[in-house]
Chains A and B, each alone.
Chain A
Amino acid sequence: MQFWIVQTLNSLALGGLLFLLAAGFSLIFGLMRIANLTHGSLFMLGAYIGVSILKFVPNLWLAALLGGVAVAAFGGLLERLILRRLAGNVLGQVLVTLGVAYIIADLCLMVWGGDPIPVPTPELLRQPIVIGGVAFPSYRLVVVGIAIITAIALYLLMERTRLGAMIRAGVDDMQMARAVGIPVSRLFTIVFCLGSALAGAGGIIGGPILSAYPGLDFDMLPLALIVVILGGVGSLLGAFVGSFIIGAIYTFGTALLPGLAYVILFLPMIFVIAFRPRGLFGKVTT
C-alpha cells in the first residue's frame, strides 16, 4: 500500500514540476510558434542558479523567486536579441534554440562542475506527514500544491484579464490580433519571460527531488514536449492535465516496467500525433 501511495505522490510531484515547465513551453509554442528547445535548459539553469543563491540566502522559496526572475531576464534577452530575428524560420529556430541549449549546458558544466548538486529540502518539510499510519512525503505534497496554485494563477491571468485575452487572441489568429492593434511583439516578450520564469523557478523547486546535475535539461525537455503534444499546443488546461498524465506514466512506468519506461512514455505521444495532432485540449488555429 505504501508503495502505491508513495509512487502516486511521486507521480503527482513530477506532474507538478512538469506543469511548471510545460505551461510556459506550451504558451510560447502556441503564441509564438517557436519550439523552444532551450526550455529544458532554462529549468536546469534555474536549478543551478538556485543552488548558488541558496549559499547566500538559505531560503528555497526566495531562491525560487530570485532564480525565476534571473531566468526570465535571460529568456527575455534570448527572445529580443535572437529569436525575434528568426520569426517564421522554423529550421533556424530549432537549430538556434538547440545550439543555445548546448551552450547553456557547457557553461553550467564550467561554472557548477559535473557532479550532481543536491538541493536541501526546507527544514520544515523534511518530516513526512503521517495520516492513518501512512507516511506522505510533505515536500512533494507542497510541490503539488504549488503546481495547483500556479495553474489557478495562470488560469486567472489567461481567462480573467485583458492581457490574457490578448495572448489567447494571438494564439487564435496572430495576424488578426495584430490588425486590431494588439501589441503582439510585446506579448511575445512577456510570454517568453513568463515561460522562462516558470521553468527557472520550477528547476529550483524541483531541486530537492531531482537535484541539479548536467543532463537535467535534456532529461526534462522530452517530457515537456510530450506534455504539450498530449495536452495541446497553447492550452493551459492541456498542459495541466498532460503534466499529471505524463508524470503518472513516467513514474509508474519506471517503477513497474523499468525496461519499457520510455516505450510506455512515448507510445501515447505517437498515437496522439497520428490520430489527434492537436492534442487533448488543443485548438484548431489559423
Chain B
Amino acid sequence: MATEALALAGINALYADSHVLHDVSFSFNAGRVLALLGRNGAGKTTCMSTIIGFLPPRDGEIRLFGEPIGRLMPETISRKGVGFVPQGRRIFPTLTVRENLTVARQSRGGAAKPWTLDRVCELFPGLKGRLQQPAGSLSGGEQQMLAIGRALMGNPRLLLMDEPSEGLAPRIVAEMRRTIARLKQEGQSIVLVEQNIKLALDLADDVVMLNTGRVAFAGSVDEVRGNEALITQHLGVF
C-alpha cells in the first residue's frame, strides 16, 4: 500500500480577519509530484505557509507521513522532514553560498543517498565556484538553485516548492525543469506551486486546483491534460 506523504483535512486559515483557505482537503502519496495550481490570490502560497508552519491553521489537520504537524513551529516541521523553497527565493543574502547550505544541513536516518554539500554542487555545478561568495550577489537563477539546494540540505521527506520558475530566463527554467524531474526520479515527494502551467503539468503526477481558497479540483494529471474547459475555468489560461 502506498504511503501518504502529505494529507490536509479541513484546513481553514486566516490572515487577521481575512479568511483565505476554506476547508481545504487533499493528499498525495510518497514519491509523487503534486502540482498545486490556481490563479493569483487563489490561496496557493497561503497553503504552503500553512504547511510549513508560518500560518498555523485555525482548524483542520495536516499530516506528514501520517504524523500530525499542523500545530508545530516551522523549525520543528522542518526537522520532521519538510523542505521549503519559498516564493522569491529568500536566501540569506549576507551569508556565503556555503553558509546558506551548511546552516540548513540536517541528517535524517534512512535516507539512502543523503544530500551533502558535494551532492548539491554536483546537482548545481554553477554553485560550486561560488561557495565563498555572498549569496546576495548571485543572479536570480543562481539564487533559485541555492534556495533549492538549501532545502535539499535538510534531506527532506517532502519538498515544498513555491513558484521555482518565477522571474527566471527560459534557459534557467529549462534547467529547473530538469532538476525537478531528476528529484522526482530519485523518489522525492514534491508539492509544486507554479504559474507556469505547462511546466507544472509536465512534472506532476497529481493536481490540486484552488479557486478563491477552496479546492476546485483534485485528481490525476491525466484528468487535467487536454481538459481545456477545466483549465480555463479554474486557471484562466490557454
Knowing A162-B102, A181-B104, the reply to whether A176 touches B92 (Cβ < 8 A) is yes
Query: What 1/0 flags go to B111-152 for Cβ under 8 Å of A?
Result: 000000000000000000000000000000000000000110
Which of A90-98, A167-175, A269-277 is near enough to bind chain B?
A: A167-175
A180 to B135, CA, bound (A): 16
Contacts of B99 in A (CB 8 A): 165, 168-169
Q: Which residue of A lies closest to B147 (CB)?
A: A176
Q: Are B95 and A169 in contact (CB under 8 A)?
A: yes
Counting chain A CB atoms within 10 Å of each CB, the highest count among B73, B84, B104 belongs to B104
**A172-B95 contact given A179-B84, A182-B103, A183-B75, CB 8 Å threshold:** yes
Distance (whole angstroms) from the CB of A34 to the closest CB of chain B: 18
Q: In the complex, what distance in Å separates the CA atom of A176 from the CA atom of B104?
A: 10
Task: Tell whether B106 is near chain A: CB-to-CB under 8 Å.
Answer: yes
In the complex, B178 has a CB within 8 A of chain A: no
A-B interface, 6 closest residue pairs, ranked by CB to CB distance from nearest: A181-B78, A178-B74, A180-B104, A172-B92, A165-B99, A169-B92
A168-B90 contact in complex given A175-B54, A180-B84, A182-B103, C-beta closer than 8 Å: no
A169 touches B103 (CB 8 A): yes
Cα A236 to Cα B84 in complex, Å, equals: 30
Please tell me the number of chain B residues within 8 Å of chain A, measured between CB atoms.
26
In B38-62, the 8 Å CB interface with A consists of 52-54
* Residue in B54, B84, B90, B154 with the greatest tally of chain A CB atoms within 10 Å: B90
Query: In the complex, A178 Cα to B56 Cα: how many Å?
Result: 14
CB of A178 within 8 A of CB of B75, answer: yes
Decide if B93 is an interface residue (CB 8 Å cutoff): yes
By a beta-carbon cutoff of 8 Å, the part of chain A in contact with chain B is 162, 165-166, 168-169, 171-173, 175-185, 283, 286
Q: Assuming the A-B contacts A165-B102, A173-B90, are A181 and B79 also in contact, with contact meaning beta carbons closer than 8 angstroms in the complex?
A: yes
Interface pair A286/B102, CB less than 8 Å apart? no
Q: B94–A172 contact, CB under 8 A? A: yes
Question: For residue A165, which residues in chain B have a CB less than 8 angstroms away from its CB?
Answer: 95, 99, 102-103
For the complex, give the distance between the alpha carbons of A185 and B72 in Å.
Answer: 13
Which residues of the partner chain B approach A176 to less than 8 Å between Cβ atoms? 86, 90, 92
Find chain B residues with CB under 8 A from A168 CB: 92, 94-95, 99
Q: How far is the CA of A178 from the CA of B78 in the complex (A)?
A: 8
In the complex, A190→B110 CA distance in Å?
31
Instruction: Report B's interface with A, CB cutoff 8 A.
Output: 52-54, 73-75, 77-79, 84, 86, 90, 92-95, 99-100, 102-104, 106, 150-151, 153-154
The answer to whether B95 and A180 have CB atoms under 8 Å apart is: no
Task: Give chain A residues whose Cβ lies under 8 Å from the Cβ of B77.
Answer: 179
Docked pose: A172 CA to B135 CA in angstroms? 11
* A180 contacts B103, C-beta separation under 8 Å: yes
The answer on a CB contact under 8 Å between A180 and B102 is no
Contacts of A175 in B (CB 8 A): 54, 74
- Residues in A with CB closer than 8 Å to B95 are 165, 168-169, 172
Do residues B102 and A185 form an inter-chain contact, with CB atoms below 8 A?
no
Q: Quick check: B52 and A179 within 8 Å, CB to CB? A: yes
Q: List 5 A-B contacts (CB under 8 A).
A: A173-B90, A175-B74, A179-B84, A181-B104, A181-B154
With a CB–CB cut-off of 8 A, which chain A residues contact B73? 178, 185
| B53 / chain A contacts, CB cutoff of 8 Å | 178-179
What is the bound-complex CA distance between A176 and B84, given in angstroms?
A: 9
**Nearest CB of chain B from residue A231's CB, rounded to whole Å:** 15
Q: How far is the CB of A204 from chain B (nearest CB, A)?
A: 33
Query: What is the distance, in angstroms, from B9's C-beta to the closest C-beta of chain A?
Result: 22
Least CB distance from B138 to A in Å reads: 14
Residue of B nearest to A163 (CB): B103
A187 to chain B, nearest CB (A): 10
Q: How far is the CB of B107 from chain A (nearest CB, A)?
A: 11
